[in-house]
Amino acid sequence: MRVAALAGGTGAAKLLRGLAASLDSSALSVVVNTGDDAEVWGLHVSPDLDSVMYALAGVLDAGRGWGRADEAFRCLSAMAVYGAPTWFGLGDRDLATHLVRTRALHEGRTLSAVTADLAHALGVASRILPMSDEAVRTTIRTPDGRLGFQEYFVRDKCQVEVVGVDYDGAERARPAPGVLEAIRDADLVVVCPSNPVTSVGPILAVPGVAEALGATRASVVGVSPIVGGAAVSGPAGALLRARGLPVSPLGVARAYAPWLRALLIAPEDAACAPELAALGVRAVVTDVMMPDREREAALGRAVLAAR
């Protein structure tokens, strides 16, 4: 069975590990959000590409959910001495990824090409596809002005009022090579339990992607990142509200209408099932929490069974 997943952030990394436990890894293609990408110390950082790559390579830090395991931050300390900004925690091993990526981009290679090389070097057999080779930047509108996503998320710890979200550059971006084909040729498309507004939203904003999801023969199955009226992690609640969507599986389903076919929801949200059905979305009530590898794998199996 060929599986295409739409991914961004830590929930996605966990589910992908869970799916990989039940799938031939070469059957999995992951389309990853790059709206979070940022330039740090002159380096091109792609947090969601790296979280997915490190998770599938088995080197993602388990505690933080981002960056590499067995990490040190000696360069970060040294940069502080020079007065460089240190609110974005680049680890020493992680730096190697950004150095290689940045040099390749400066040499004129595409983000998708360098991503494939990095993933291959780390032994990842699944395809990791940036949503686009062109820059799309998620920007948070606040009453005091616009913030880059990492300024909002890491520097300001989501403690500012959000009045809107923009995907700068999306209208001119093209899907990266392989993205539309992965969606078209899949038997199952999985929308990971990622933030619908800032992780999956940028992918859907790339022209052609939402159309491909509407046209695919694959069954499109999502996992709700909202449980019991709140996000499992991160600012998805505030961002859904800023979009005028309810902070519930219904808000998630509405963000993915009209192509979402089934949504895995937690037992405490089972009462949403009839309203989801009215939106054309079949509710699958199951355990959607992933505190350990066993439950990641169990959720992976539940997603594959929901097809």
- What are the residues binding ligand FO1 (CB under 6 A)? 8-9, 36, 45, 47-48, 50-51, 66-67, 88-90, 94, 150, 153-154, 199
Reading the block at residue 105, the tokens are 């981009």
Pairing of strands 188-191, 219-223: parallel
Residue among 157 and 257 whose Cβ is closer to ligand FO1: 157
Q: What are phi and psi of 96, to 5 degrees?
A: -60, -40
- Token pair for 276: 């989801």
Shortest distance, CB of residue 112 to ligand FO1, whole angstroms? 18
76: exposed, middle or buried (Cβ count in 10 Å: 0-12, 13-18, 19+):
middle
Nearer to ligand FO1, 67 or 130 (CB): 67
Helix (H, G, I), strand (E, B) or coil at 4: strand
Report in angstroms how near the CB of residue 187 gets to ligand FO1 at its nearest: 27
Query: What single-letter amino acid sits at 125?
Result: A
> In whole angstroms, how close is the CB of 40 to ligand FO1 at the nearest point?
8
Give 74 or 214: the residue with its C-beta nearer to ligand FO1: 74
Closest CB to ligand FO1 among residues 8, 175 = 8
Nearest residue (CB) to ligand FO1, 199 versus 248: 199
Considering the complex, what minimum distance in angstroms separates the CB of residue 270 from ligand FO1?
28
Inter-residue contact 189 to 215 (CB < 8 Å):
no
Nearest distance from C-beta of residue 278 to ligand FO1, angstroms: 31
Nearer to ligand FO1, 93 or 301 (CB): 93
282 contacts: CB under 8 Å, gap ≥ 6: 261, 262, 263, 276
Question: Toward ligand FO1, which CB reaches closer, 121 or 271?
Answer: 121
Residue 25 or 41: which CB sits closer to ligand FO1? Answer: 41
CB of 9 to ligand FO1, least distance (A): 3
Distance between CA atoms of 294 and 139, rounded to whole angstroms?
Answer: 36
Q: Identify whether the C-beta of residue 41 lies closer than 8 Å to the C-beta of residue 228.
A: no
Integer Cα distance of 299 and 279 in angstroms = 23
Residue 150 C-beta: closest distance to ligand FO1, Å: 6
Q: CA neighbours within 13 Å on the CB side: how many for 7?
A: 34
Half-sphere exposure of residue 189: CA atoms within 13 angstroms, side-chain side? 26
**How far apart are CB 2 and ligand FO1 at their closest, in Å?**
25
Q: What DSSP assignment string belongs to 130-198?
A: ESBSS--EEEEEETTEEEEHHIIIIISTT-S---EEEEETGGG--BPTTHHHHHHH-SEEEE-SS-III
